[in-house]
Chains A and B, each alone.
Chain A
Amino acid sequence: DAKTTQPNSMESNEEEPVHLPCNHSTISGTDYIHWYRQLPSQGPEYVIHGLTSNVNNRMASLAIAEDRKSSTLILHRATLRDAAVYYCILRDTLAGTYKYIFGTGTRLKVLA
């Protein structure tokens, strides 16, 4: 299984940018990189995904390394509502079981 490695926790001040890193050195050539976040006591919600090029949407930006072995989720201005666990996820392509491989994620704390 392709796996991801993320820091256990990070802190940010409100209104400042946050860069959440993810390593995925065993990524296959066709795996999309997905990011989800889980707010307290809720189910995960989609944030962004990408394949090779950097991606932007209204929630965040995704910067993907040229060799695709790492990526960074960028929240441009953190708010208190962004406090959550952020998961960097790859699709399991080998077993064909249509599953996401969730790690333990990065718990982001936003300081007022």
Chain B
Amino acid sequence: NAGVTQTPKFRILKIGQSMTLQCTQDMNHNYMYWYRQDPGMGLKLIYYSVGAGITDKGEVPNGYNVSRSTTEDFPLRLELAAPSQTSVYFCASSYSADRGPEDTQYFGPGTRLTVL
């Protein structure tokens, strides 16, 4: 299994540009998540999905959109990029989220985004 894969690894955007960060998992996990990590800080949840066709906002959703058309894919869309969105973005997935042993999250390697 490849686990959770993310593309691209690095990207530089100009203010006002848009882009999509790709995330794919091959573990047949129901739950998927997008986090951002600013320098020296912990991770903050942007959006999450509990299954295909179902998404919901996390702590910091403004400026982002997501979709979940398949179990495997959970792309994150940035519209009108701003310098405040400069961060490292991590995608994660888990089998469930019931606070038990099955809700271990598996993280991708991250996408480092710079907005200039």
Binding site for B on A (CB under 8 A): 30-32, 34, 36, 41-46, 49, 87, 91, 93, 97-100, 102-105
Binds A, one of B11-19, B44-52, B64-72, B79-87: B44-52
A-side interface mostly: loop
Task: Tell me which residues across on chain A come within 8 A of B108, comparing CB atoms.
Answer: 43
Task: Report the interface size class on chain B.
Answer: 20 to 34
Contact pattern, B 33-59, Cβ under 8 Å of A = 1, otherwise 0: 101000011111100101000001011
Task: Tell me which residues across on chain B come within 8 A of A43, comparing CB atoms.
Answer: 4, 90, 92, 107-110
CA distance A34 to B103 in the complex (A): 10
- Give the shortest distance, in Å, between B2 (CB) and chain A (any CB): 13
The answer to whether B99 touches A91, judged by C-beta atoms less than 8 angstroms apart, is yes
Task: Tell me which residues across on chain B come within 8 A of A30, comparing CB atoms.
Answer: 99
CA distance A44 to B101 in the complex (A): 17
CA distance A15 to B38 in the complex (A): 32
- Give the shortest distance, in Å, between B91 (CB) and chain A (any CB): 8
